[in-house]
Amino acid sequence: MKHYIKKISTYAMVGSFGAIAMIAFSGCDQKQSEGQSDAFTQASQKQGAFVVIDEVAPNKYKIAEEYPADTTRVILRKLDGTEKILTKEELDALVAEEAKRIDSGESALTQPQMSSGGLGLGEALLASAAGAIIGSWIGNKLFNNPNYQQNRQRSYKSPTAYQRSVNSFNKVKQSSTATKSRSTRSGFFGSSKTGSKSTFGSIGG
């Protein structure tokens, strides 16, 4: 576990948001709320995401961890123990290929029933926060699909991993809203200081 956290923190430092990954490991509350998938998608589309995808069987993948970030970065951990950061070109190619499968009705993300054994790499990517960012151009045919909203919860390695993700993105959204409110009030009274601060600096576990 210590080795895993060290690896994650190293990747996070490269992406300039070391505090985010480490804060999330402290854990957040497990409260359920209606519409949390929609809130997650909306929040993730407005910022970056740090995502770790694990190969759980040959060519089958699940989302291990994901947190808000200032840049989008996807780490792939393979069965043989090797790890790599997927390039922008690789991510774009995976999304484009999966978009074709969505159009043809072949993608597991839009099916009523999804196997619990894992997804293809493109499917796992689009089920993640990074997919909501990189694949935002796909639009309603995926993100408003009720099967997608249901299946993306099953694309995580555990229910806890899914809930941590939702909580972390919801907290960023709430923090951003509070910051805008403070800025509006400050501007109304004519202060030269907006009172705003970095969204990512105010996230708690």
**pLDDT one digit per residue (tens) for the chain, 205 residues:** 545 545 554 554 444 443 344 344 434 433 443 445 554 555 445 578 999 999 999 999 999 999 999 899 999 999 999 999 999 999 999 999 999 999 999 999 999 988 888 999 999 999 999 988 898 888 888 988 889 988 988 999 999 999 998 898 888 766 555 555 454 444 433 444 444 433 323 333 3
3-state secondary structure of 57: strand
In contact, 85 and 75? CB cutoff 8 Å: yes
Name, in order, each residue with C-beta under 8 angstroms of 138's C-beta and a sequence gap of 6 or more. 95, 99, 102, 126
Looking up tokens 């960023």, which residue turns up?
172
DSSP 197: -
Q: Quote the pLDDT of residue 98.
A: 95
Regarding beta strands 48-57 and 73-77, do their DSSP bridges make them parallel or antiparallel, or are they unpaired? parallel
CA distance 70 to 121: 23
CA distance 164 to 129: 12
* CA–CA distances in Å: residue 36 to residues 61, 145, 167: 23, 15, 9
Looking up tokens 């403070």, which residue turns up?
182
In contact, 53 and 64? CB cutoff 8 Å: yes
Kindly calculate the radius of gyration of the chain based on its CA atoms and give it in whole angstroms: 17
0.75 exceeded by the pTM?
Answer: no
Q: Quote the pLDDT of residue 170.
A: 84
Q: Quote the pLDDT of residue 38.
A: 53
